A = this chain, B = another copy of it.
Amino acid sequence: MEEYLARIGPADEAAMRAATERQLALTKPAGSLGVLEDLSIRVAGMTASCPPAVPSPAAVTVFAADHGVHAQGVSPWPQEVTAAMLANFAAGGAAVNAFAANNRVDVRVVDVGVASDVAELDIVHAKVRPGTRDLSEEKALSPEEVVAAVAVGFELAEKLLRDGYRCLLTGDMGIANTTASAALIATFTGATAEEVTGRGTGIDDATLAHKTEVVAAALRLHDVPASDPQGALSAYGGLEHAALAGYILGAAANHVPVILDGVIAGAAALVAQAFHPAAIDYCVAGHRSAEPGHAIALKTLGLQPLVDLDLRLGEGTGAVLAYPILTCAVRALAEMATFESAGIASGDGA
């Protein structure tokens, strides 16, 4: 971990100042591109360049894993759905495939801890263990397993960047992963189990009450302080959360933007923030999930979501939807004429 963290530093202030000034010179009223102006300034800071290059090509990586807490009945979906959806991703039949094809984003799928054997699928095989242990009864992961899963994400980020990608998007798949997310978000935000536990991809009131009690009991059992990201990953998992945290740290260490998907990514980003606060300088919140813990996570992360359309699917769909907004923001900064170059009088002078 230490060698990863040593490579992370804050966004470049000089590039952000230059981008802020450039925004004022472009042929539009000051501030009229709203959130996109701030976004373009942030990308300048991430990449230490003004104007920054368009962050393209992009890859969305779907980190997949299973959760021992599934045994507690926190989801209506059989655990085997994780593996079945991996086959669906590999065949191009999932929502993230349709969105990614539309938005020119490449899809990578990684088995970092699926319970079933998916060796025959044409995906990245990096299984640390076949699912976590049940977080409601014991630590989900050993310290060594945490480090191994974080390394899967970090190393994959580095490989994608070596392959030429200039924007990384997070994706995830894992039945019951909103339960582990809730525990992580509660740990790092101080929110209660009631505040952060939601219906995931769809559960009834009775299951929600039970799921909330499972999260509350796990928080009491493990009682991990917010200053201990490795301890939190060990207590609650999941393997995909650990890999996502590593992936975010990998993007930050290499000064490229990483677009976060929904609540799973938000939980992982809180872990990354606990590892190194400056990692969040490289994060863009793709969307706000309908899952209640996500808004709480985003508030602690200090990130404003780009898309807010009641999505609660995961897979990276929210991040992929947001990707063209990011590239539009950067292209406006890079490609627009200035008042001077276009020979237009500025509103200030009228």
Residues of chain B contacted by A335 (CB below 8 angstroms): 92-93, 97-98, 101
Interface size on A, residues (CB 8 A): 65
Would you call B93 and A32 a contact (CB within 8 A)?
Answer: no
Query: A91: CB under 8 A from chain B?
Result: yes
Work out how many copies of this chain go into the complex. 2
Question: Known interface pairs A84-B342, A88-B342, A93-B337. Does A29 touch B347 (Cβ–Cβ under 8 Å)?
Answer: no
Q: Give the segment of A13-21, A136-144, A225-233, A325-333 that binds chain B.
A: A325-333
Would you call A201 and B324 a contact (CB within 8 A)?
Answer: no
Question: Known interface pairs A27-B88, A34-B311. Does A102 touch B342 (Cβ–Cβ under 8 Å)?
Answer: no
Compute how far the CA of A126 lies from the CA of B85 in the bound complex, rounded to whole angstroms: 53
Query: A36: CB under 8 A from chain B?
Result: yes
Compute how far the CA of A28 lies from the CA of B94 in the bound complex, rounded to whole angstroms: 8
Would you call B324 and A102 a contact (CB within 8 A)?
Answer: yes
Compute how far the CA of A64 lies from the CA of B273 in the bound complex, rounded to whole angstroms: 48
Closest Cβ of chain B: how far from A338's Cβ, in Å?
A: 9
Known pairs A28-B95, A103-B324. 18 more at Cβ < 8 A? A27-B88, A31-B202, A32-B201, A33-B95, A34-B311, A76-B348, A88-B344, A91-B337, A91-B342, A92-B335, A93-B335, A95-B332, A98-B334, A98-B335, A99-B331, A307-B307, A308-B308, A321-B324
Spell out A's residues near B (CB within 8 Å): 26-36, 54, 75-78, 80-81, 84-85, 87-88, 91-95, 97-99, 101-103, 201-202, 290, 306-313, 317, 320-321, 324-325, 327-328, 331-332, 334-337, 341-345, 347-348, 350
